[in-house]
Amino acid sequence: MIDSFRNENEKVMEVKHDIKNHLQILKTMNNLYDVKEYINDLYTDITDIKVFEPTTNIQLIDIIFNLKKNQYPSIRFSYDVSVDYININEKHFSTILFNLIDNACQNIDIAFPNVNIQIIKNDETLLITVTNTTDRVLSLNTQKTVGHGYGLKIIQYYAEKYDGSFFIKMENSIVISQVILKCNNKK
């Protein structure tokens, strides 16, 4: 099973490494048939990714949930999504949600690997809450090692960009990460 995971991870890393080049090629293609054929060829390289049923009526959120569920197969995810649409920049939303989920999954209690994701919108406020079980002391140190610690800074940046807030707290071995965004326009 570990070898299978390594092989799958290796394939993902290869695709990730080459994606910029593939996008440049697609950008320069003029023939729609050639574009579709090229995309189909790329798609066959990643068909090994496991799929699960959509959990929301928003494709972007389903894609993110699917990617993270496949990236962390030993973690039990639960979702509560009460939004009809996301009216902030999709890249910004994705960045926030990816980082919240990654932080939760990387600091989980292995004996009780549970992550709950809640996304609620009321009026012009979007509330994203991610909770996870943990057996560690909560540390907000963003200077762990090279290449780590940027997630919290990025989440904070986008929270401020959308006139919102971001906080993390711990209650009874549960880490609660919450982002509140004012989403009256795409910034």
Q: What does pTM read for this prediction? A: 0.69
Side-chain-side CA neighbours of residue 175 (13 Å): 27
Q: Which residue has the higher pLDDT, 2 or 106?
A: 106
Query: 187: which residues sit within 8 A by CB, 6+ positions away?
Result: 88, 89, 92, 161, 162
Calculate mean pLDDT across residues 109-138.
Answer: 91
Question: Tell me, what amino acid is at 88?
Answer: I
- Tell me whether residue 132 is exposed, middle or buried, using C-beta atoms within 10 angstroms of its C-beta: 0 to 12, 13 to 18, 19 or more: buried
The lowest-confidence range among 29-38, 76-85, 131-140 is 131-140
What confidence category does residue 19 fall into, taking pLDDT thresholds of 50, 70 and 90? confident
Residue with tokens 């994606």: 19
Least Cα distance to 62 among 127, 114, 119 occurs for 119
d(CA 126, CA 186): 13
Is 64 within 8 Å of 101 (Cβ atoms)?
yes
The lowest-confidence range among 47-51, 100-104, 111-115, 166-170 is 47-51
Is 32 within 8 Å of 69 (Cβ atoms)?
no
What confidence category does residue 9 fall into, taking pLDDT thresholds of 50, 70 and 90? low
Is 74 within 8 Å of 61 (Cβ atoms)?
no
pLDDT the model gives residue 144 = 52
Q: Which residue has the higher pLDDT, 95 or 5?
A: 95
Q: 21-29 long-range contacts, Cβ below 8 Å, gap at least 24? A: none
Query: 87: which residues sit within 8 A by CB, 6+ positions away?
Result: 183, 184, 185, 186
- Give the model confidence (pLDDT) of 32-63 as tens digits: 888 888 888 877 766 655 545 567 888 788 88
Q: 116 pairs with which residues across the strands?
A: 78, 131
- Give the model confidence (pLDDT) of 84-94 as tens digits: 888 899 899 99
